Amino acid sequence: MALSRGLRCCQRAFAWVPVLIIALVVLWSYYAYVCELCLMTLSNPAEKVAYLIIFHILFVLFVWTYWKSIFTLPVQPGKKYHMSYADKERYENEERPEVQRQILAEIARKLPVYTRTGSGGIRFCDRCQLIKPDRCHHCSVCAMCVLKMDHHCPWVNNCIGFSNYKFFLLFLAYSLLYCLYIAATVFKYFIKYWTGELTNGRSKFHILFLLFLAVMFFVSLMFLFGYHCWLVSRNRSTLEAFSTPVFQNGPDKNGFNLGFVKNLQQVFGEEKKLWLLPIASSQGDGHFFPMRALCEAQNPLLSNEEQWEDDGIDEEPHDSGEAASLAIERET
């Protein structure tokens, strides 16, 4: 038991190593740009002030969004999705799978859950003992179910989901701008050091290495940010891009696609003045998401690829005949 706790503590401590690496690189980049470039290398006062002002604006936005991505805790499903003590006892004491399926079906009738497992069953997490809301997944690293889980990111040591996906996107965007600005402003002095026009040895090392890191991070972040922009435009998470969500009528990769503008509003909210600020403005509470299809049988599940859902969908009970055939999803 003590060994197991010790291993878990070591694992948690080791998980902060990537965050520490990023923090050290950012702090060094601040020193190299402000001290070695602006204070030691630049001679024009106006140019020096302009460089410093723009740099500090980008630096604050970058650090702010990174902080929010790290320390905004992922949101777990509400209490109504957890099995009650009576239901848990009845479920665990029942050995017949078909009766267990029926118990889950009875619980799911009261909840607005419309996605299914690959076999058409109710999405149930036997670790957290809850019916999983749409787009919710269990994170093995965080050991809990996360609303609208996108992925677990080691560089922020946190689950990226409903609560912090906007902050993560802004972090990627401002990281790109930060790297691009550094590379663009440092390049001229990189050439001067390279050709021997400037000879300060210590500053030369910092500026050369600063340009190299800025270009390297810019290229890698450009692909990652572009991929997430594509996901947002389709209203998909990373998990949904690799595993198509399944509705009662089958899988549909565009099941939550409401159109480009509404997809943006799902993540950034309706107030455009808040889009570029790391302030929570995403629509909804993470438990229910509008779907693009209207239901023909008073059940808000995907039924017609040509119809679009605009204002949310009313909750309706599932047919008991269909519920009896539902399977249980086990988290592994």
- How far is residue 50's CA from residue 130's CA, in Å, rounded to a whole number? 55
Q: Are 133 and 235 in contact (CB under 8 A)?
A: no
The single-letter code of the amino acid at 133 is P
Q: How many CB atoms lie within 10 A of CB 58?
A: 18
CA nearest to 265, candidates 278, 253, 281: 281
- The burial of 114, by beta-carbon neighbours within 10 Å (0-12 exposed, 13-18 middle, 19 or more buried), is given as buried
- How far is residue 255's CA from residue 251's CA, in Å, rounded to a whole number? 8
Four-CA torsion 165, 311, 292, 289, nearest 10 degrees: 30
CA nearest to 210, candidates 193, 226, 195: 193
- How far is residue 107's CA from residue 131's CA, in Å, rounded to a whole number? 8
- Catalytic residue check, 153: yes
Distances (CA, A) of 146 to 11, 35, 152, 286: 20, 42, 10, 9
> How far from the centroid of its chain's Cα atoms is residue 263's Cα?
15
CA atoms within 13 A on the CB side of 262: 14
Residue of 153, 159, 179, 295 marked catalytic: 153
- The burial of 184, by beta-carbon neighbours within 10 Å (0-12 exposed, 13-18 middle, 19 or more buried), is given as exposed
- Which are the catalytic amino acids? 153
